[in-house]
Structure formats: structure tokens, C-alpha cells
Amino acid sequence: MGSYIINGGAALKGSVTVQGSKNSSVAVLIASLITDGITILRDIPDISDVNDCIAILCSLGCTVEKIDKNVLKINTSGIGDGKIPVELTRKMRASSYLIGAMLSRFGKCESIISGGCDFGSRPLDLHILAMEALGAVCLTTESGQTLSAPHSLRGGEIVFPIKTVGATINSMIAAAKAAGTTVIKGAAREPHIRDVADYLNLCGADIRGAGSDTIIVHGVSKLHGCDFTVCPDMIEAGTFITYSLLTGGDITCLNAPVNQLSSFLNVIDQMGAKLITKENSVKVTSSSLSPACVHTAPYPGFPTDLHPQTAVLMASANGISTICETVFKNRFHYLEPLRALGLTATESGCRLTIYGNTSFTGGEVRATDLRGGAALVGAALCAHGKSVINDTVYIERGYSEFVGKLRALGAEITERE
């Protein structure tokens, strides 16, 4: 499962180029299944979630070629009505996008077991609700749920009772080639939703309003390939910003989606960080940090995927901070290994109270999920002594060239299998 060995105490300095968005990459890769021809995707990070998506495409008969660093060439001309191995779909939550893609391409989708980090129940009920609104029929059997579109998908009205990123993306993928017009109400607004819409539109789709609460999709009969660059990864940028502040460093994030980071940067600014932002970069330093109160929320609110990293930052502040987690019920699984390194925090329902002025001490711990693992790295970077972080396979689901980037900034970090 892999391990990182980190000797804490080094101030990280220099610049880091933010990778392409993990969330955009996996969604666009699966969306390519409904196109005909060749797609070129740029700024695709070399991470395990992307590699698993590539394996899924190949299992269905696509050819995927790496033509340059972070550039993929996808040819869907050889696609067949194959079955997707369960061991691939259970590795990541993004495999749920196969529901819309398979229904659009083949008119059916056998049971998908989506995986990803364990934050409690993450059902597919809203995905199924959306597909049924487009004419799909869901059949439950002993082996799971199977969706089919016996009369092909058709436009319809989809109304989500709560914000759902995955089901919003799935709806756009399924509706892109459905006959007629689809109206998606209560849509989520995350940046990678707009990225998927921009990609499909370059392929010939007619999707309007992505990034707002209402998305309108006018179905087209065919989609072609295109040349598309995914947006930068706001979560990686936010992660390295916390590392700069935790280590008393001076990091500039290049290729940073500054506008997407507004809610996070506002909190960092309130905590006393010194920020220099430009259109595509952000530099951050600080001599001391003040406590803060944060409520995670769907975009454009404070991102839940920066909650664990920010919790470590709050532990280094001068006072008591709170985080109210409103997105994932069981997000607090990451706390136990952090407590082993010195974190003092108490939970009450969805509210986390973090006691500051913490001096982290090195130890041996294991990552429990992607962003919790990134938080552990932050604690280890500023800890006294050596830390060993095990099960780093979780971290490598979302961060490309992670160890190399940290070394270039001055971190004393090595990895072992």
C-alpha cells in the first residue's frame, strides 16, 4: 500500500505547478465513451483514479495512448458492448458516471458498484432518479440493479432535492444525446461540472447553464472527438497553501484556479495569512495564525475536500477553531491518526472543535482516505521528528508527482513500497 517517511521541520519554499483537476479528469474520461472519433485530453494528472478510468475505457474496447506528459489520446472507434470488471468500478466514486455513459451508448447499464473514500452511505438513488426521468427503467435483482432504456433516452425534467455533483454530471452525460430537451433543476455548481459541459459542447453537444442551478440540454444525435484541456485542481492548490502556512514557508502555486478558491482563501485571509494573488497564481506566507470558524458547503461554499487539511492548519493557530461539516456525515474518520501525532479536537454531531497551539510530534500512522491522508502529510511536515505514513495509495488517488513536488519545495520525504 506504500509509505512516506517524513522528517518534519523544513520550511517549504519555492513554486509548484498545480495539476489538472482530478475530478474533471475522471468525469471527462468517462464522458468520452459517448463520443465517436478521437479525443485529445490535456493536463490529465498521473494518478491512480485516472489510471483506473483508463482501464475501464480499455475494457470496453477503447484505445488510450499517452502521447505526451499529461496528454492522452482516446479512440472510441473500437468500442464494444463489454462488461466492466467490478474490481475497477469499486475503486472510485467516479465510476458512477458509467450509468449515464452506458445508457447513452448502449441503452443499458448493469449494476455499478461505485467506490471511493468511505464517508458513510453514498447511495446512487439520485442518479437513478435522473435516469428514470429520461426514460430509463430500473430493475432490481439478486445481483443488483440494472438500468435499461428500451425506447432510447428522451429529454425530460430532472429535479434534484439536494445538491449532487455526481448525479448532475451523470444527467448531462445521459441527456447529451437524448432525444429532445432536458432541464436539470437544483443542479450542483462545482467547477468540474462546467468542465464536463465545456468538453461535451466541444464535441458537438448543446448544454447551457452549467455552473448555475438550472442546466438545459438540447439533445443531439451524434458527438465527435475534440481537443480539450481540463481546468486546474483547486484542491491540490489549497493543499499546498496549507503546507506553506504549516511549515512557515513561502510557496507560490502556479496554474492556480484563484477564482474557484475564493471561499477557502477568504478563510485563510481571516486567519492572518499574507496572500498575493494574480489571475493564475497565489503566494502565501504567515508568521502566526488566528482561529477561524468554517462551514463546509457545496460550491461556491467552503469545499469539504479541504476540510481535513484546514483542520491541521487550525491546530497550529493561536486559539480554538471550529468546522461544521455539512456535506459528508462521516468525514471525521481522518481524526484518529492525526490525534496520534498530537491533534486535540472534539466532535459533537457535525461540529468539530479544534484546539490550537499544537506541537505535532512524529509517529507512525496510516492514511484512511485521500484528503485525510493529505492532512496527515501536512501534520508530518511541521512535526518534530520522523513520521511514517502508511497506506499512501489513498493519497496517490488524487495527487500527481506528490513526493517529487514536496522534495522540490525542500521537504525531507522519501517513499517505500
Task: Specify whether 215 is located in the same domain as 117.
Answer: yes
> What pLDDT score does 269 carry?
96
CATH number of the domain to which 116 belongs: 3.65.10.10
d(CA 285, CA 408): 18
Task: Specify whether 143 is located in the same domain as 241.
Answer: no
> What pLDDT score does 363 carry?
98
**Which string of DSSP letters, residue by residue, matches 274-304?**
EEEEETTEEEEE-S-----EEEB-STTSB-G
> What pLDDT score does 328 carry?
84
Among candidates 327, 326, 322, 368, which has minimal Cα distance to 347? 322
> What pLDDT score does 403 carry?
98
**C-beta separation of 1 from 386 below 8 A:** no
> What pLDDT score does 214 carry?
98
3-state secondary structure of 355: strand
All three cell numbers of 267, joined, read 478563510
**H/E stretch holding 201:** helix 191-202
Per-residue pLDDT at 108 exceeds 50:
yes
Task: Specify whether 370 is located in the same domain as 343.
Answer: yes
> What pLDDT score does 143 carry?
65
Per-residue pLDDT at 247 exceeds 50:
yes
Domain limits at 119?
A: 22-229
Task: Specify whether 98 is located in the same domain as 239.
Answer: no
> What is the rounded average pLDDT of the residues 130-147?
86
Per-residue pLDDT at 152 exceeds 60:
yes
- In this prediction, residue 121 has a pLDDT band, given cuts at 50, 70 and 90, of very low
Please indicate whether residue 117 is annotated as part of the active site.
yes
> What is the rounded average pLDDT of the residues 168-195?
98
d(CA 223, CA 217): 14
Residue ending a domain, among 203, 229, 255, is 229
Residue ending a domain, among 229, 248, 263, is 229
Task: Specify whether 85 is located in the same domain as 73.
Answer: yes
> What is the rounded average pLDDT of the residues 149-153?
92
Residue ending a domain, among 206, 229, 252, is 229
Domain count, the chain: 2
> What is the rounded average pLDDT of the residues 151-169?
96
Task: Specify whether 204 is located in the same domain as 269.
Answer: no
**C-beta separation of 306 from 275 below 8 A:** no
> What is the rounded average pLDDT of the residues 265-282?
96
- In this prediction, residue 390 has a pLDDT band, given cuts at 50, 70 and 90, of very high
- In this prediction, residue 91 has a pLDDT band, given cuts at 50, 70 and 90, of low
d(CA 383, CA 406): 15
> What pLDDT score does 139 carry?
84
> What pLDDT score does 330 carry?
79
- In this prediction, residue 92 has a pLDDT band, given cuts at 50, 70 and 90, of low
CB atoms within 10 A of CB 293: 13
> What pLDDT score does 417 carry?
84
Q: Active site residue: 53, 62, 109, 117, which one?
A: 117
Give the predicted TM-score (pTM) of the model: 0.94
Task: Specify whether 334 is located in the same domain as 311.
Answer: yes
For helices 98-106 and 22-31, the axis angle rounded to 10 degrees is 20
What are the φ and ψ backbone dihedral angles of 74, each rounded to 5 degrees?
Answer: -115, 125
> What is the rounded average pLDDT of the residues 50-71?
94
Among candidates 189, 233, 239, which has minimal Cα distance to 210? 189
- In this prediction, residue 352 has a pLDDT band, given cuts at 50, 70 and 90, of very high
> What pLDDT score does 116 carry?
45
Chain segment 213-236, per-residue pLDDT in tens: 999 999 999 999 999 999 999 999
Task: Specify whether 224 is located in the same domain as 236.
Answer: no
Task: Specify whether 316 is located in the same domain as 374.
Answer: yes
Beta strands in 69-105 (DSSP E): 71-75
- Percent of the chain clearing pLDDT 70 (strictly above): 94
Task: Specify whether 238 is located in the same domain as 211.
Answer: no
Task: Specify whether 80 is located in the same domain as 8.
Answer: no
User: What single-letter amino acid sits at 236?
Assistant: E
Residue-averaged pLDDT of the chain: 93
Which of 70-84, 145-159, 193-207 is predicted most confidently?
A: 193-207
Beta bridge partner(s), residue 375 = none
35-49, 92-106, 354-368: least confident range: 92-106
> What pLDDT score does 271 carry?
97
> What is the rounded average pLDDT of the residues 55-60?
91
Task: Specify whether 327 is located in the same domain as 237.
Answer: yes
What is the torsion angle, in degrees rounded to the nearest 10, for the CA atoms of residue 133, residue 205, residue 48 and residue 311? -70
Per-residue pLDDT at 167 exceeds 90:
yes
Chain segment 319-350, per-residue pLDDT in tens: 999 999 999 887 899 999 999 999 999 999 99
